[in-house]
Homo-oligomer: A and B are copies of this chain.
């Protein structure tokens, strides 16, 4: 297909044929064609800076030239695209690369399960495995968590809009309060420990806890290392596995490959997806401690467990970005810069900054205001979205590889949008 010269001259086909369930196309009602790193072009050729990055799926930007070239070479050479879960050279190379550059340097010992290529599927596999290993049913998930929308994963997801979509009761999950959920003075980990220690609390002995270190959809709530270590210890004390869902916060988004590095957290199971392929291709992984790998062959299966194109780009991404510490240093710089810029905006409007690393935002107070800010940004050529229970957080999720000038310019747009929207609001209030 030749981009921008398609037979279609208008997008009526979307209205005519695509289901009403579509969402992002409502916020960004343009038809896009090409994209390079942090820039997306619509059909007319207009360029937009991407501060959404596929909700953290494009940490290395759009169409990284090295990944692109690795993939084109692979396809050109008739490399296997689909082989169910058979051994392929692409898989072999990915496994070797992941072991050599990700696991070993971090002293991590995990087996890799290629689940169906979605984060939800990785979560479903993790939940099944935790139930199988422990012989227990209940899984503890946290307020404002997001873990996917297939029925098993959806039970762990907090968002009521998605939950109601099930149209059937969701079961097997109990809810605990995330770090800081009840304010700074209440230690929610202690609360959970009390409930699990109390034999008549009504909280059944859990198979696992599943937690995000930073809640990407839930409002950029970042748990402290102290809290995470504490709930990890509580899980262990109560015989529950500790699952870190690193689908949105992993792959460098918070500064390191895994979002929990340096915390001594040692999860039993880790789920990954989104930026794992490096290029936005569907790909997911469930990592588990070797002792937990008690799966029977094919017990959890699926057609697209081996997305070989994704193996190729994922291995190339790891080689390019994680062979040494340069990329981490670059993220650290950008994260610091982002923090400063957001602090300035927040201070100017008496608002609060949220999140950590390159996964930060500002609580605009209400969803209406945050939405108005994002729409204003889009008019200025910036693709950006909200997050949080009420959509009240303006969320910055640019590619980690974004050029500094473009990053600064994008943040200028954000700053101006806050000024514009809140200025109008202030004017209206006077």
Contacts and interface: CB of A to CB of B under 8 A. Distances in A.
A396 B13 CA distance: 38
Contacts of A380: none
* A21, A93, A160, A172: most-surrounded residue (chain B CB, <10 A): A21
A101 B167 CA distance: 34
A148 interface: yes
Given A78-B63, A163-B204, A182 B175 contact: no
A203 interface: yes
Contacts of A286: 19
Contacts of A75: 63, 68, 71-72, 75
A316 interface: yes
B86 A25 contact: yes
A3 interface: yes
* A19, A87, A117, A217: most-surrounded residue (chain B CB, <10 A): A19
A212 interface: no
A392 to B, nearest CB: 11
A324 to B, nearest CB: 18
* A148, A200, A273, A301: most-surrounded residue (chain B CB, <10 A): A200
A26 B205 CA distance: 27
Interface stretch (A27-35, A352-360, A409-417): A27-35
Contacts of A84: 23-24, 52, 54-55, 57
Contacts of A82: 54, 57-58, 62, 279-281
B55 A137 contact: no
Which 8 pairs of residues, A with B, have the shortest CB-CB distance?
A82-B280, A151-B152, A158-B202, A131-B167, A23-B298, A21-B295, A150-B150, A19-B113
B74 A8 contact: no
A348 interface: no
Given A137-B169, A149-B301, A307-B282, A85 B1 contact: no
A118 interface: yes
Contact of A201 (B8, B143, B172): B143
A90 interface: yes
Interface in A351-405: 388-390
